[in-house]
Amino acid sequence: MAPTMNPQSSVNSTHSEGSLTDSIQSSHPLARISSVFSGKLLVAGDIGGTNSRLILFESFGSSIQEDNVVHINTYWNDDFPSFYAVLSKFLGEIWEGQHDPILAACFAVAGPVKNDYINFTNREGWIIDAKDIENNMNFGKVFLVNDFAANGYGIKTLAREDLVVLQDKPALPGAPIALVGAGTGLGECYVTPQNPGVDDNNYHVFSSEGGHVDFAPRNDLEVRLLKWFRKKLSDMPLQSATSIDASQLTSLRQCYTNPEPRVSVERIVSGRGLVNVYEFLCDEFPDRINQGLHEQIMNSKDKARVISVCINDYPLASDALDIMLSAYGSEVGNAALKYLPSGGLYIAGGIAPKNIGRITSSDSLFMKALFDKGRLKGLIENLPIYVVMKEDVGLRGAHALAFREAYRYFKEQNERMAEARRIYEAEREQLQAASAWKSKVRESFSGIFKKVNTGLMQSFDEYSVFWALGLSVTTSGLFSMYIAHQIGRLKN
């Protein structure tokens, strides 16, 4: 049944969607959806801590690029008591009353997923349970995936123009792909084809917590940054937290008895990390602080954004960005060594596209740190390396996973149709064979009867006297038998 469209159901967005809106159609016909072989509906979502982005597609299962956008919108999570309220609002903007069946949905979520279930610990009442949505909201298959793993699935949907090439080397078919992305946090994952050399487009993403590995300082300034951070993470004085009294050291094991606070790479390489680095520089070089800009930064709810905005007018902010980008490049190089991604090393997230000028400059600290891997530098020099300029890769990945279900559905339908056609053709051939056999038998008996009839006619013509005599004798005999029978009855 085609839906009764809400007057507000044309494609829209409460908040800007950037590159996504470039491909959105202003209207979309839904009359064909009721047929088994018409398009099926898919929902893709990127559910973050701040907002939720949802898209409804119509898919025919042939190519993800051919899926049609039906509706799109973004919602501020603070405006809703639960994710189900967001999803109901989204569907209610398209249909009045019960919505049409959704074949598949995939939601990329900011947090750990277990058995297609997530509880947003920092947002009360926000629980997403895939099975609950399937059972109560007229959805087919629902998937949940970690948001950065969704970025991995989204990589394959990118076109060449969506990328900036940092190192133009040929990608090795069937080889692993690595993805590192800094934004609010630092994510890492790697991608491998499920059937290398046979079908490199059918792939699997392995998520990781690579962004939480130990931060390893590479120069004196970063050593001081590490010490500063350890002090920040503990209540101990800096000296006791970062030094060892050799006279009290009786064995190597004592070094680990009271470990100092641990600092992960994400505390440096991320939006929050940029703020941390800036605060460190303010403590190290208080005479370089611009009080007016400093107050703007510290009073802002989005400190990282303000730091980035004023880098051209505030040297200390510019230095903070350089330190963060250098550490970022170093971690990208670490990922290259860990995964050896001959299929491609992709740098995603919001930070790289916004700072692409610094990353690609001739004196880029990012690139210098990326390749600064000693004797293993040559390995990295042979890898294709790209910056992803689109910030909707997670949403693309959620779409890709939902599309897989549509592809499977239409493949099964086609296989069923092919089997039904095979059975029909076999039965038709049997009927045709039976009909041909009947025709042959009919022709055979017709020939026999024709020959007998012809023979009889010829016999009548040639032997009419004998036929007449035989008929007379037969008739006389039958008459005699009848007279005898009647006489017998009279005697009785």
Share of the chain above pLDDT 70, in %: 80
Q: What are the φ and ψ backbone dihedral angles of 57, each rounded to 5 degrees?
A: -115, 155
Average pLDDT of span 12-38 = 38
Maximum distance among all alpha carbons in the chain? Answer: 157
pLDDT of 3 higher than 70: no
- Least confident stretch, 113-122, 160-169, 239-248, 364-373: 239-248
Confidence of residue 174 (pLDDT cuts 50, 70, 90): confident
Confidence of residue 37 (pLDDT cuts 50, 70, 90): very low
pLDDT of 239 higher than 90: no
Average pLDDT of span 66-80 = 91
At 14 the pLDDT is 40
More confident residue, 117 or 416: 117
Confidence of residue 375 (pLDDT cuts 50, 70, 90): very high
At 252 the pLDDT is 58
- CA–CA dist 284, 467 (Å, integer): 139
At 456 the pLDDT is 61
**Per-residue model confidence as pLDDT tens digits over 329-367:** 999 999 999 999 999 999 998 999 999 999 999 999 999
Average pLDDT of span 408-437 = 80
pLDDT of 33 higher than 80: no
Average pLDDT of span 193-201 = 65
Q: Give the pair of three-digit tokens for residue 92.
A: 């209610």
The whole-chain average pLDDT of the chain stands at 82
Using CA atoms, how far residue 4 sits from 25, 55, 415, in Å, is: 19, 19, 32
At 235 the pLDDT is 57
- Least confident stretch, 90-104, 252-266, 397-411: 252-266
At 460 the pLDDT is 63
Most confident of 14-18, 75-79, 194-198, 231-235: 75-79
At 275 the pLDDT is 96
pLDDT of 457 higher than 70: no
Confidence of residue 17 (pLDDT cuts 50, 70, 90): very low
Share of the chain above pLDDT 90, in %: 47
- CA–CA dist 2, 32 (Å, integer): 7
Confidence of residue 257 (pLDDT cuts 50, 70, 90): low
